Amino acid sequence: MHCHTPSEPDLPFNEGSIALVGHPNVGKSVIFQRLTGQHVAIANYPGTTVELARGAARDLPETVLVDTPGVITFPPQSEDERITARVLLYEPLKAILQVGDSKNLRRTLLLTVQLAEMGLPLVLALNMMDEAETRGVVVNQTLLAEYLSIPVIPTTATRGQGVEELNLALQAGCAPQFRLVYPPEIEAAIAQFCTWLAEAGLLRTQVSPRALALLWLCGDAVTEAWLKEQLGGEPFRDLQALRSDLQLSIVEPLPVAIQQARLGYVERLASAVIVTSGHGWRGSGERLGRLTTHPLWGLLILASVLYGLYWFVGVFGAGTLVGLLEENLFSQVINPWAVAGVNRLVPFPFLTDLLVGEYGLWTMGMTYALALILPIVATFFLAFGVLEDSGYLPRLAALSNRLFQFLGLNGKAVLPMVLGLGCVTMATLTTRVLESKRERLLVTLLLALAVPCSAQLGVVMGLLAGISLAATLIWSGVVFLVLLAIGWLAARLMPGERTQLLVELPPLRWPVLANVVVKTLARVEWYLKEVVPLFLLGTALMFLLDKTGLLASVIRLGEPLVTGWLGLPPQASAAFLIGFLRRDFGATGLFVMESQGLLTPLQVVVAMVTITLFIPCIASVMMIAKERSWSTALGMVALITPLAFLVGGLLNRALLFIGWGV
Amino acid sequence: MNAVQLLTCPLCGHRFDAAGHVACESCPLQSGCQVVCCPACGYQTVDPRKSLFGRLAQTLFNSSRLPGGATRPDRVGLTLADVPPGWRARVVGFTDRVSPDRQARLQAYGLIPNYWVSVVQHSPVTVVRLDNTELALETELAGEIQVQSIKEGLEDENSQ
């Protein structure tokens, strides 16, 4: 696995930046928006900012704010938490702003203690005061600020309360004075560590040597990599010896012993400052929340959510909107106008063909991207944004845990899988929320193999719905079976153990419309940037193949496979060739063939199954290479492509045998 | 970050960590070898974490008696998985099958010794409440969290 290091290469060396750190789902991104006036480009899951968002602080001169992925505790465990740890080590920070959940003070303080040890100026924003008030939680903030010697600011970020005070506190910024004392053996090791670090002259990070020592003793991989890089062979081995010697003199594992000391302190602190801990769990949101994870009601709610999703994206997006845009706007208004315009202005037939011919950049590439894909993708991301902001997705993880257990995963894998129905490339990026390398690899494989993205789904559904319900059922049944079979097999062949599910269920909330819309727009923008160049490239390739007569040789070359094995007409070769670029683009080629009456229902189902199991698109292969490695990406292509043809050919024979759709 | 996975010797039943190759350390073919010797009796066992065929065989025959099939020791005492829905219990600690990292995470979520936890449900997964947090965890994981003095009712007692 290549560790992704987003913060090192492009450091803007300015006056210093401020990192927003906190648990998942406490409103870091909302505070970021309030402080910078910007919306985060990609915030993928409840509390999971997968890419780092940076923005200039509106009211703090020369300061960049960095929004980090949520972290439960240090040392980090999932890849996105590791990104946060890297920001703390590598970024030229001048302060940390911790965003905490005011109704879960103990948990918040456990992280505060760890951040305070880093020695950087620290401000604690106790966010979601409104929810705390509704539940009757009262905290003595003045006392807390005094104990911790840092500014503690109560905020309700969604309403903008407390943001002014935050700005003032960040401007004043001073390092916390308090110091938590660990058992003597650990303190001795910390002292030794600090001496060695001072001797090595290591001052390149703002994080205090004491905090580094504690991270090192807890076995943090990011600190380990950093120390190895900074110290080199001999001193690094000394540190390793220091840690293993210390472990020998302590009964509990080191991380547990260190955690115990912190928990003890946090408990004393919390009992001193919590005035009332609230009356807990009441209200309609709570009852609905319980129903969503109920074995029976949960499934019924899930079914209605899925039906709603299908209706909004499949019927409204792919049907109504695509119909309006493609048939009415593009076919009747824009394209005739463009064709006429280009023909009048451009005197060269080659160029006019390239722009508005049968395989024209505008008439095929852009029309497809804007009229067919855009409505589907936009409606999907809008629906996904609502699900995400309502806090339903973690409940889905709990509900689907059994299924993913069968695939050697846990319910958390449902998040990238559902997002994969929108865009597989984006979903590959979000596999970072999973805890082990093994899980990330398994989910990446399943995404690349058997999760059709919304663009693909739109084309496939449009095509299959025209045939019969049985065709749709065969297609979805075969794809789902392949997903289960390959997932099951891969999970058993890949070394390592499954991680058991552990996920927080945030309260169900009403999504804020403005946030959902902005997020959807940001995602659609990302998607179009990804998609349009590929469509244009694919169209240009088709155009060249057509013009140079190479299309005929491609068709001849692919004949044994496409005609002999899959039982499709020879022209389908071209569609599969384009399928390497984007599989939905290949599917569109087949769509055109079907509308010309070249395919029987059997051939349509076989072709759709084969193209669905294909590699999603060039962009997703690049993303796999970036997130995992090139060998993984190429290995997946080498595994998936023959598998797609194998399943397609077998299905062809099976359907011929039972005599379906001939 | 998984806990050490122990192999069980099919001949003598000794449980050992295959990673060190303790009994065959001096063997020149040891690095990359998919077979490991039992430190107690010397019997050669296939390490299924290294051997693709070993895992395949394990899958096909689906037997925990095959080399490497770690058997589950009996549970000790009351665990969170035993607390009926609608009841609460006080956390005592974790079994040694919970890795230190996992322990740190569970504690960060509030599953701390002497804390009261309320159980909401066990199916399809265990859902518990602590402080103002609702947490979903696999029932097998709940079975690794030791508790005592269970009571009926979901009220929060941590403030008392």
ipTM of the complex: 0.79
The label of the residue with tokens 């009757």 reads A136
For A279, name the nearest residue in chain B, comparing CA atoms only: B156
Phi, psi of A91 (to 5 degrees): -75, 140
pLDDT of amino acid A1: 33
The answer on B96 and B53 residing in a single domain is no
* Co-location of B43 and B105 in the same domain: no
Residue B139: its chain A contacts at CB < 8 A?
Answer: none
Q: Which residues of A touch B5 (CB under 8 A)?
A: 497
How many angstroms separate the Cα of A649 from the Cα of each of A40, A154, B82? Answer: 45, 63, 50
Q: Is B58 on the interface with A (CB under 8 A)?
A: yes
Highest mean pLDDT pick, A254-263, A357-366, A520-529: A254-263
* B94: in domain: yes
Number of domains into which chain B is organized: 2
| pLDDT for position A286 | 76
Domain with B121 in it: 80-152
Based on the fold, state whether residues B96 and B131 are members of the same structural domain: yes
Mean predicted confidence (pLDDT) in A72-97: 85
pLDDT at B62 over 60: no
* Residue A238: C-alpha distances to residues A244, B20, B143 (Å): 10, 22, 39
Q: Is position B74 within any domain?
A: no
What's the confidence (pLDDT) of residue B61?
A: 62
Q: Which of A72, A112, A125, A85 is nearest to A205 (CA)?
A: A85
- State the residue for tokens 């000391």: A261
Do B85 and B145 share a domain, yes or no? yes
Q: What pLDDT digit, counting tens, does each position of A432-458 carry?
A: 888 888 999 999 999 999 999 888 888
Angle, helices A233-248 vs A209-217, to 10°: value is 60
Do B110 and B141 lie in one domain? The reply is yes
Which residue of A1, A286, A500, A504 is the best one to mutate when testing the B interface, meaning the one whose CB has the most B CBs within 10 A?
A500
Q: What is the mean pLDDT of residues A609-634?
A: 88
pLDDT category at A323 given cuts 50, 70, 90 is confident
Q: For each of the domains in chain A, give its residue range(s) and CATH number, in order of start.
A: 17-172 (3.40.50.300), 184-277 (1.10.287.1770), 297-658 (no CATH)
Tell whether B119 is covered by a domain. yes
Pair (B11, B49) in one structural domain: yes
Compute CA distances A312 → A219, A307, A383, A407, A521, whole Å: 47, 9, 8, 29, 17
Check CB contact of B71 with chain A, cutoff 8 Å: no
Strands B87-94 and B6-8: unpaired
What CATH number should be reported for the domain holding residue B139? Answer: 2.30.30.90
Instruction: Give the B window 37-56 contacts with A, CB below 8 Å.
Output: 49-50, 52, 55-56
pLDDT tens for each residue of A23-42 = 887 888 788 888 887 655 44
Q: What is the mean pLDDT of residues A459-488?
A: 90
d(CA A103, CA B57): 51
pLDDT at position A639 over 90: yes
Is B19 within 8 Å of chain A by CB? Answer: no
Confidence (pTM)? 0.79
Within this chain, do residues B89 and B141 fall inside the same structural domain, yes or no?
yes
pLDDT of residue A658: 92
In this structure, of A83-87, A281-285, A534-538, the range with the lowest mean pLDDT score is: A281-285
- The two three-digit tokens of residue A75, written as one number: 């040392």
Q: Write the DSSP symbol of residue A510.
A: P
Cα B17 to Cα A197, A661, B14, B21, B83: the distances in Å are: 34, 57, 10, 8, 33
Quick check: B59 and A489 CB within 8 A? yes
Bridge partners, residue A152, by sequence: A124
- Alpha carbon distances (Å) from A74 to A23, A49, A212, A367: 11, 17, 11, 49
Region A414-437: what's the mean pLDDT?
Answer: 86
Percent of chain B residues past pLDDT 90, beyond the cut: 14
Q: Tell me, yes or no, whether B51 lies in a domain.
A: yes
Q: Please determine, for residue A13, whether its predicted confidence score (pLDDT) is greater than 50.
A: no
Distance CA A383, CA A429 (A): 20
* pLDDT tens-digit map of A594-620: 888 889 999 999 999 999 998 888 888
Are B91 and B145 within one domain? yes
Q: Strand (E) positions, A393-501?
A: none
Interface membership of A402 toward B (CB under 8 Å): yes
- Assess whether B51 and B101 both reside in one domain: no
**Angle, vertex CA B111, rays to CA B110 and CA B114, nearest 5:** 105
A110 contacts in B (CB within 8 Å)?
A: 107-108
- Which of B99, B132, B160 should we substitute to test contact with A (largest number of A Cβ atoms within 10 Å)? B132
Please name the residue of chain B whose CA is at the shortest distance from the CA of residue A259: B104
Interface test mutation site (partner B, options A281, A405, A415, max chain B beta carbons within 10 A): A281
pLDDT of amino acid A22: 92
Task: Identify whether B120 is part of a domain.
Answer: yes
- B66 in a structural domain: no
pLDDT average, residue stretch A1-7:
36
Are B109 and B49 part of one and the same domain? no
Residue B135 lies in a domain: yes
Distance separating the N- and C-terminal Cα atoms of chain B:
36
CA distance A61 to chain B (A): 35
B54 and B21 in one domain? yes
Residue B158 lies in a domain: no
Interface of B with A in 100-139 (CB under 8 A): 100-110, 112, 120-121, 123-125, 127, 129, 131-138
Query: How close is the nearest chain A Cα to the Cα of B41, in Å?
Result: 26
Instruction: Quote the pLDDT of residue A205.
Output: 67
CA A412/CA A400 separation, integer angstroms: 9
Q: Is the pLDDT of residue A394 over 60?
A: yes
Same domain, B92 and B145: yes
Task: Out of B106, B124, B141, name the one closest to residue A398 (CB).
Answer: B124
A493/B59 CB distance under 8 A: yes
Judge: A104–B131 Cβ closer than 8 Å, yes or no.
yes
